[in-house]
A = this chain, B = another copy of it.
Amino acid sequence: VARRHRESPYPMIAVEEAQGKVLEHCLSLGDVVKPLQFALGQVLAEDVYASDPLPPFPASVKDGYAVIASDGIGKRLVISEASICGSKPELQKVQPGWCMRINTGAPLPSGADAVVMVEHTKVLECSEDGKTEHAIEILKTPHAGAEIRPIGSDIKEGDIVLRKGSCIGPSEVGILATVGKTDVKVYRSPTVAVLSTGNELQIYTEKLIPGRIRDSNQPMLMSLLSKQGFNVKGGGIAEDNLDSLVARLKSALSDADILVTTGGVSMGEKDLLRYALTSHFDATIHFARVNMKPGKPTTFATCCFEGKNKIIFGLPGNPVSAMVTCHLYVIPACRKIMNFPYSKILPTKIRVKFGGPQPVFLDPRPEYHRAYLDWSGGSELPVAYSTGNQLSSRLLSMHSANVLVILPGASKSINKAEPGSIFDALIIDTL
């Protein structure tokens, strides 16, 4: 349209300010009870207490023999093996002069008050086939309570084992299983719809049409977001016209809590997404220009659609820009909605030594430079090696990148990043 802006009417804001605006608008979607096996990767929405102590019985710390300590060293008769190791502990009682085999973790049989580890015993009498011990000798004086974990020594009955707000990883699944927590209250995860825009795009699974390129953003962002454990839906490809875009936006917004679009936000296109959002969805645009490279035209909006609050990210169409801004804004938004602990919402920042054979010239904007970390050189700090040419259309520069080195904007005093200099870097993949 001729009325389009010749210059962006939006103020350029800093990345930190943009992130602040995003997080401010990302509110919890409430909680839901899920079977434990589906709670991995989510955040606990309740304090969890132990309904019984752990161990729930005095448990052996060693493999050996349950004994009566006051019997001292010397010979013991061995109770028949049929009843060892907790299968029916209530049926057997250790009498003076007797002992019972016991394995690590098994309940102490009644009568016994100590465990003697197998290394401190020797066999005196056994069956002809050598399979059954009849009598052993205790070589070291046992003490009452020795090699026994008392009831509740790991977890007392009624203890809080995990607090509301804990992230549920594999260890936490183990902790919750330990206390018999089969159904777990967690914060709801957002559903994220991913939509690409651009007349030049086609779905990657079909034969390439002249004048088109395959859309890589949608499969890439869907992989990234589903790898994080969010619910992800494909929103298709919208053409660069109002009718197509509005139809796609409507369909995606009715399905999702968060809508991520790519493309349609650069200078000539921006009016289209912004116009569609403001005119048809009464959306508020919170920012549409960020002082970063790549990712300058990143747009963030909110609206109410079908009675629900929706979060909308208009990411740039260049795949690298889409990827970088997804890490900086979209993933933190999802985590905020899921009530991740404050320190785990934004990408973790670490200190790195900038590697590579030659200096990199700084852009006027702070640059999120794709790199991979290497500790093999023996230095204390990891070395971040650039993935090469950082053109924002060049998706190959994301290949094997696990950090984004934050290169500061060029100033009068510094205009290049020298190899060996130390910078902050954001972790974007497993190290």
Contacts and interface: CB of A to CB of B under 8 A. Distances in A.
A54 B213 contact: yes
In the assembly, how many copies of this chain are there?
A: 2
Interface string A86-98: 1111100000000
A155 B393 CA distance: 10
B182 A205 contact: yes
Nearest to A234: B37
A7 B182 CA distance: 40
Most B C-beta atoms less than 10 A away, residue of A90, A204, A318, A348: A204
Contact of A224 (B119, B170, B200): B170
Contacts of A429: 169
Given A200-B86, A268-B103, A400-B167, A40 B220 contact: no
Nearest to A239: B87
A394 B107 CA distance: 17
Interface stretch (A10-18, A126-134, A245-253, A359-367): A126-134
Given A350-B382, A429-B169, A391 B154 contact: yes
Contact of A104 (B89, B101, B266): B266
Interface in A32-64: 36-37, 40-41, 52, 54-57, 59, 62-64
A294 to B, nearest CB: 12
A64 to B, nearest CB: 7
Contacts of A239: 87
Interface string A148-160: 0100001100000
A49 to B, nearest CB: 13
